A and B are shown apart, each in its own frame.
Chain A
């Protein structure tokens, strides 16, 4: 097939090739148009299946396919079957925008589930705005955003970072803080929010150490030694880690090897879940913490049922589940309910219907879509166990509503996102005007 294609490219003259492509595209568009109109509802899946981010995003692609499969078993939506359209943006940010455009204009999808990194989300935003479609974004992120076409089912900083710091302050009596992160927008914004929050709680500047490392950093000797030194000032110290993806394994290995135990200096991570731990020998990590809105180990009938069905679907009895997966589960159910409510997949109608929609999460609660397009979630703190799972040691009493704009930062504390009443993503409550500035 590929050989045939390259042969064709070689033999066709340029003009004929162009004409043929144009014809093909037109024909294809007409064909998909006709098809989309009657028998299926198309769901776009925009997750990297190759390149650096494939490590995290491939699972989310499988999750959406699984959810579509389950929904079709129940008879689909509005009497139509769902059909997944999977594209591979290959961890390449500009390609995300291209693929998003392809999904919406060529494949005529009704909704897209996708993106992981903030930069990929920012890259597709203009496309979703221009073509007026819907994106469900399932990953915990830095906040400071509320867009009409995007629904954020992952945690905002106040649903992950701040409760985790509260826990360490109250339960572990931590007085000195290391904020360690990978050098990009999520850790930088989160640490800015945390720094402001810690200072508002009376932590002094000299008790906060902020450290950034490049992507994929693998030599942690100096930084771990620095942390050790910082922690020996006679006050209880903890590390708040926004270290991303691959860099975590060598970081934890170095911690273990240098003998830093969770009882001395606990590390609470926001990007380490069950999937990441699957690649590490977890014995030296016993007791280090992670903050999420979902853990696989949470005992709840809905969760147990989901895990069982997921492992059966992937035909792997050891396959783990994680927090962004749950976000897709919730987002998918909310979208299904909204479509059923308005009896249409029309983007405008669904966007207006989504706020207020409720969906059961997998930890025994009911999450609700808020007017700022974020959802309510419980927050859990889990300790790493020897088997690579987490033991929940603390949770918020109820669900926490996601703040699109952080209350800790000067630039954003007066802003709110409200797509129901104000029809505005950055409404300034002081000046009562839409279009206030973010940080």
Chain B
């Protein structure tokens, strides 16, 4: 590859000179034209041209000038800047907006342009400028016809409490009919008044009441930011509002911990549920369980890769398609492993442990060779990205869906064991192998299918876990210990035990974590489990009777 492209670059130098000359010519013509019609170049045009300097300070200035210009192009320019659709040509100092529909216009004049010049590149932003842009857009969209946009803009003003926005807010508040938007405007107004130096104490106190009613972390930030140099009456009201919000938030943080615990519990359950079959029901110490999870995650990756290259429109359904495929791939692999290795080792737990551990290393290295050692990107479909607010806690969609998915998988598995012929045979074989064989059940076939089922469910877990964790050859390793912990804690051979065990560990972990930190929290959980197992060696829900001994 490299030599030809070198020649190509060298070969281009001559025409490039010609281009430069042409560009200079065009530029001079443009300058003459601009000179001849002075009405064209106003402060707005000058401000726009600043984008072409590729200096953060100039871009900053330009945003301010354009936002306050009142020009109809101000909004399209600044929103294009935010989305990276604003490009500038450093040669001609011209700036272009690529509209959402792909059309290109000259930012200074609004005239349509056929294509971007060769030297044009997107105007760069840094975090400081992004904040400026957000604030500018906030004040520009306060009067948008879309209520959602108005609310977002008002929130922005609430954060920036920029005094310049006050007249617009006052005007908007007066004629606002949408209830949510109205309260957002009222909050934004309160935020501005609270920080406005010449607002009266009465106004400020009223503002504090409004902000206190909002009661979230943003409100807290706003009130704490006020500092102690406020008038005594205001400072006093603010500090009492702060403590009221804080005690309210402390209550919510309990709810939040409980939710996080449920969510962690669902991940643990999902990872452990397949093991509850292979280890819990069949008694196979399967150290390669984590690798089945990994295979499921890589199946998701392959499905997404195919969709991305062939049918990009179907991306949001990629996970739905990956679930059955991951089940089949991991399940089939499970059947192969059972037939080729594990069936020779029944009743020899130590050998099974070593063989499956070796197998896990083989699988890891095989995936590493096939897909490379680095992480693979598995995207989140749009319905699994982002979060929503419930009261004062944030619930992320991916965690919520994983919780639902886990419970669904659990219910289906339970129903399968309870109501299908295969489920019946599985229970029969694991409870009393010889009796089952005497009744005409092909026990070795059932063994293979049971192991396949456990592996297949691990594969499904991989699909879900690919949404919150790395897809790398090491994926499985991080879940194997947790999975065994859950199954042993819950009681070997009992699916309900696994469910209760997973959620107990998840919630306990999340309530310990804020107090003890993530590292100590994990150690504490392990210690608690060791103590618990001393007391109840068979876990939370021990199977009674002769069943497991057989």
Which residue of B127, B387, B518 contacts A259 across the interface (Cβ within 8 Å)?
B387
Shortest CB distance B403–A (Å): 12
Which residue of A211, A219, A225, A231 contacts B394 across the interface (Cβ within 8 Å)?
A225
* B394 and A216 within 8 A (CB): no
* A393 and B5 within 8 A (CB): no
* A250 and B126 within 8 A (CB): no
* B387 and A279 within 8 A (CB): no
> In the complex, what distance in Å separates the CA atom of A237 from the CA atom of B468?
25
**Interface residue SS majority, chain A:** mixed
* A232 and B218 within 8 A (CB): yes
Residue of A nearest to B384 (CB): A257
Which residue of A214, A275, A289, A308 contacts B2 across the interface (Cβ within 8 Å)?
A308
* A393 and B126 within 8 A (CB): yes
If A222-B514, A278-B377 touch, does A233 touch B221 (CB 8 Å cutoff)? yes
Q: Is B98 an interface residue (CB 8 A)?
A: no
Q: Is A58 an interface residue (CB 8 A)?
A: yes
* A259 and B130 within 8 A (CB): no
* A229 and B217 within 8 A (CB): yes
Shortest CB distance A170–B (Å): 11
Q: Mark A273-291, 1 if CB is under 8 A from B, else 0.
A: 0011011110010010100
Q: Is A93 an interface residue (CB 8 A)?
A: no
A217 to chain B: which residues have CB within 8 Å? 518
Q: Of residues A246, A254, A317, which shows the largest number of chain B Cβ atoms within 10 Å of its Cβ?
A: A246
* A214 and B518 within 8 A (CB): yes
* B514 and A226 within 8 A (CB): yes
On chain A, which size bracket covers the interface? Answer: 35 or more
* A257 and B471 within 8 A (CB): no
Residues from 244 to 282 in B contacting A, C-beta threshold 8 Å: 249, 253, 256-257, 260, 263-264, 267
> In the complex, what distance in Å separates the CA atom of A52 from the CA atom of B368?
11
> In the complex, what distance in Å separates the CA atom of A234 from the CA atom of B221?
4
Shortest CB distance A209–B (Å): 11
Residues from 100 to 143 in B contacting A, C-beta threshold 8 Å: 124-128, 130-131, 134
Q: Is B519 an interface residue (CB 8 A)?
A: yes
* A219 and B264 within 8 A (CB): yes
* A257 and B397 within 8 A (CB): yes
A254 to chain B: which residues have CB within 8 Å? 396, 468
* B375 and A233 within 8 A (CB): no
Residue of A nearest to B219 (CB): A232
Shortest CB distance A75–B (Å): 19
> In the complex, what distance in Å separates the CA atom of A364 from the CA atom of B138?
41
Q: Is A106 an interface residue (CB 8 A)?
A: no
Shortest CB distance A240–B (Å): 15
* A246 and B221 within 8 A (CB): no
Q: Mark B360-386, 1 if CB is under 8 A from A, else 0.
A: 000011001000111111011000011
Q: List 26 A-B contacts (CB under 8 A).
A: A50-B365, A55-B473, A55-B474, A212-B519, A216-B477, A219-B267, A221-B260, A221-B399, A223-B513, A225-B260, A226-B514, A234-B225, A246-B474, A254-B396, A257-B387, A259-B387, A276-B375, A279-B374, A279-B375, A279-B377, A279-B470, A284-B385, A308-B2, A312-B1, A386-B84, A393-B56
Other A-B contacts than A212-B518, A276-B375, A280-B375, 13 sampled, CB-CB below 8 A, are A54-B473, A55-B474, A214-B519, A216-B478, A234-B226, A253-B398, A257-B386, A257-B387, A262-B127, A278-B375, A281-B380, A309-B2, A317-B1
Which 7 A-B pairs rank lowest in CB-CB distance, beginning with the nearest? Answer: A279-B375, A234-B225, A234-B224, A232-B217, A257-B396, A232-B221, A54-B373
